[in-house]
Amino acid sequence: MRAWRLRTSLILLLALTTLVAAIIVGAAILTIRLPQIQQEASARAKESATQLVQLTEYFIGGIEAQLVPLAHLAAQPGALTSLQPHLDALVRQGGSFEAIYIANGDGLTKAVALAPGHHGKPSELLGADLSAKTLYRAVRQSAQPVWSDKYLSIISGELAFGVGLHAGDIIIIGEVRTQRIVDIVQAFTAQTQYPVIVLDSRAEWIAGDREGNGETHINWADRPTIHAALAGESPPPTMSIAGRTMHSGYALSPRLGWIFATGVPGGMANPAYRNTVIFVIFSLFGAIAVGLLLAPLWAARMLRPINLFSSVGRCPTGRCG
Amino acid sequence: MKTRPWLFALLLTLTACAPPEPLKLGFLAGLSGRGADLGTAGRNGALLAVDAVNAQGGIHGRPVELLVRDNEQSAETTVAAVEKLAADGVVAIIGPLLSSVAQTAVPVADKLGLVMVSPSVTASEFANKDDLFFRVASTTSDNTRRSAEAQYARGLRRIAIAYDLSNRAYTTDWKNEFRQAFEQLGGQIVATVEFTSGQDTGYADVVRQLGQARPDGLLLIANAIDTVHLIRQARNQGLAQPVIGVTWAATEQLLELGGRTIEGFNVTQFFNREDSSPRYVAFREAYRTRFRQEPGFVSVTSYDATRATLEALQRQGKQSLKQALLASGPYQGLQDEWNFDRFGDARRRAYVTEVRNGRFVVTD
């Protein structure tokens, strides 16, 4: 075995002690803190999604509320024939609805109003049978206003969202252009610092951070987080959004039935995670640098008495100093 | 330079551990606007086929990824979408669904050397051409002959036709082929009225012109929405004649949008919703579970088109995909066995159906 000088051994001992201590403390910090950061990220994703749901529902509620006075009027006996001016006023002035129509208990449309610039002729839409429409059926069975998923409108021929409510036997349905809803949702999602996707209850794309990408045209039901949301289960810890793996959280909109999924960056893309890792690495290198700087000095200081003894021991032979 | 065997071994191990690159397959259809119901149903069928193949280990161990593009029913977007799919490295494209879109898409794909397999394009102008365009559905002439025979057999002799110019390649072909087949049987086309979907022309005017010819049957060559509007206008104007439609309209949306208005509506299509074969029943259950909807005819043909393409890719070897598609048949579809002819056209069994109590019922 190679014999080291005492000074070298002392330098190594002091430097290694510092290094090992730094590694142990750093590993402890990483072991404890990193999972905490990941949990915090998931909680933040969930919180962000919940806030988006609340904001969206607040504004959606505003659109829905425009139909409520109409429902009160429609509930009056014999009011059906006098509702047309109110419908026309609502589509012209409200700006929210592409079309509003009123159906009787048999599902036949009795009054229709179309937004200005619409191709259709309202008179040709009278008598349309809505009885097989999913939204019509859902409204009939609900005491509350009901929102649809994205659907093909018989009135406009375009993809739309419908909101319906009933007053007695009378059903009132308002159709909102998908772009109007997308604009509202995107106004909120743009304010969040995290990627967001909003899907209807069939996991079809409504809005989010992937506009213009092919992913807006796929059905998301097979993604683990969305699958969990549809099944009412806890989401997996991560999901892939915008090509990156993120800590996921979702919230369901009770009013709309839509899924709001948010991803908070995971791993080194997460600032808290990254800062912690960088802090530990810098601490480690700092400890090594300080150790390497101080160890020789400290070793020299420790060896001074021994060196003194050694030089005194050499005096009888005439080799003092 | 001194070689280091351990370094090569390490690199080899790392390469072996890397997940295989997905095999990209394109899907092109109208997923917005008036044809969105057809596009979405087709996309869903293709997604289920890709899922099924991936569940079996993919193609030569590579997972399949479906890249979906919306052509927005516009020629410009169609060209851009095909070029984008080619740039993304797809091996083939499933689609398009409309003949008018195929007129734009096929030359572009041909130029790029991309095979296209359409689930529902039937126009005769694509038949008997030795190109890279394959079709899973029977040609319009097959459908019109079957439909004309069925209408003649039920006693119709004077038929008035309304057809939509927004999908002209399909609708004019249908009109011409039906006229030929029906007149050969001894029937007569008493009026043809054109309209353009989504434009200001009222449905009432179209129906009025049809009615003036005093037909004993109305043939509507239009999509689901326009078909519903035209039938309602016909009934509003007191026209009680039987109404015949085309496969393009026979989507699940038609049943929902039409309600009782479309009772008795007659259409020839290559889809039997009452099929109780285990293969189709399993597909329908998977479809309902995944998409919370009923599958439509184009869901089935999209599934078949995608499975056939992936099967050919699996068997491809050193052949081109075109050769593999032509050589790998016959294909077991969800409802029947079918094959491509040497021009890549298919012939499928057609069913004469009628809407009864809100459902398509096979009558012949």
> How does pLDDT run across B269-328, given as a tens digit for each residue?
888 888 999 999 999 999 999 998 899 999 999 999 999 999 999 998 889 999 999 999
CA A94 to chain CA mean position, Å: 30
- Residues in chain B closer than 8 A to A158 (CB atoms): 32-34
Q: B7 pLDDT exceeds 70?
A: no
Could you report the per-residue pLDDT of B110-126, keeping only the tens digit for each? Answer: 999 999 999 999 888 89
Mutate to test the interface with B, among A109, A129, A215 (most CBs of B within 10 A): A129
Q: A186 pLDDT exceeds 60?
A: yes
Q: What pLDDT, on the 0 to 100 scale, is given for residue B361?
A: 92
DSSP three-state, residue A260 = strand
Residue type, B159: I
Are B163 and B144 contacting, i.e. CB atoms less than 8 angstroms apart? no
Distance CA A163, CA A175 (A): 6
CATH topology classification for A15-59+193-299: Beta-Lactamase (3.30.450)
CATH topology classification for B141-269: Rossmann fold (3.40.50)
**At which residue do the structure tokens 């016909």 appear?**
B234
**pLDDT grade for B356, boundaries at 50, 70 and 90:** very high
Q: A312 pLDDT exceeds 60?
A: yes
Distance CA A35, CA A41 (A): 10
**pLDDT grade for B1, boundaries at 50, 70 and 90:** very low
Q: Say if A15-59+193-299 and A66-176 have the same CATH topology.
A: yes
**pLDDT grade for B267, boundaries at 50, 70 and 90:** very high
Quote the Cα angle for A154-A156-A160, to 5°: 85
B204 CB near a chain A CB, below 8 Å?
yes
Range from A226-230, B17-21, B132-136 carrying the lowest mean pLDDT: B17-21
Burial code (b: 16+ CB inside 10 Å, e: under 16) for A139-165 equals: bbeeeebbbbbbbbbbbbbbbbbbbbb
A152 sits in the region (left: phi over 0; alpha: psi -120 to 50; else beta) called beta
Distance CA B273, CA B285 (A): 13
Burial class from Cβ neighbours inside 10 Å (0-12, 13-18, 19+) for residue B357 reads exposed
* Ranges for all domains in chain B classified under CATH 3.40.50.2300: 19-138+276-338, 141-269
How distant is the Cα of A43 from the closest Cα of chain B, in angstroms?
28
**At which residue do the structure tokens 């051409």 appear?**
B129
B238 CB near a chain A CB, below 8 Å?
no
Could you report the per-residue pLDDT of A245-264, keeping only the tens digit for each? Answer: 788 889 999 888 899 988 88
B65 CB near a chain A CB, below 8 Å?
no
State whether the Cα torsion A177-A181-A184-A188 is positive or negative. negative
- Cβ contact, residue pair A130, B259, below 8 Å: yes
**pLDDT grade for A2, boundaries at 50, 70 and 90:** low
Distance CA B40, CA B251 (A): 11
CB atoms near residue A12 (< 10 Å): 13
Q: A242 pLDDT exceeds 80?
A: no
Q: What pLDDT, on the 0 to 100 scale, is given for residue A197?
A: 87
CB atoms near residue A224 (< 10 Å): 15
Mutate to test the interface with B, among A217, A218, A223, A226 (most CBs of B within 10 A): A217
Could you report the per-residue pLDDT of B47-106, keeping only the tens digit for each? Answer: 999 999 999 999 999 999 999 999 887 888 999 999 999 999 999 999 899 888 999 999
Distance CA A204, CA A199 (A): 5
Element (H, E) at B132: none
A49 φ, ψ to 5°? Answer: -65, -40
Chain A with chain B: Cβ pairs closer than 8 A: 87
Q: A211 pLDDT exceeds 60?
A: no
Nearest to A217 among B43, B228, B293 (CB): B43
* ipTM summary value: 0.80
DSSP string, B175-211: HHHHHHHHHHHT-EEEEEEEE-TTSS--HHHHHHHHH
* Mean pLDDT, residues A31-54: 89
* Mean pLDDT, residues A70-80: 82
Q: What pLDDT, on the 0 to 100 scale, is given for residue B194?
A: 94
Burial class from Cβ neighbours inside 10 Å (0-12, 13-18, 19+) for residue B298 reads buried
How much is the pTM?
Answer: 0.82
- Cβ contact, residue pair A219, B225, below 8 Å: no
Q: What pLDDT, on the 0 to 100 scale, is given for residue A269?
A: 82
CATH value of A66-176 in 2.130.10.10, 3.30.450.20, 3.40.190.10, 3.20.20.80: 3.30.450.20
B2 φ, ψ to 5°? Answer: -75, 130
Strand partners, A283: none
Mean pLDDT of the residues in chain A: 85
Could you report the per-residue pLDDT of B197-228, keeping only the tens digit for each? Answer: 877 568 999 999 999 999 999 999 999 989 99
**pLDDT grade for A8, boundaries at 50, 70 and 90:** confident
| Rg from Cα positions in chain B | 22
How distant is the Cα of B182 from the closest Cα of chain A, in angstroms?
31
Superfamily of domain B19-138+276-338: Response regulator (3.40.50.2300)
Task: Return the structure tokens found at B175.
Answer: 């009109």
Range from A104-118, A187-201, B236-250 carrying the lowest mean pLDDT: A187-201
Q: What pLDDT, on the 0 to 100 scale, is given for residue B8?
A: 64
Could you report the per-residue pLDDT of B326-338, keeping only the tens digit for each? Answer: 999 899 999 999 9
Q: What pLDDT, on the 0 to 100 scale, is given for residue A231?
A: 87
Task: Return the structure tokens found at A88.
Answer: 């026309």
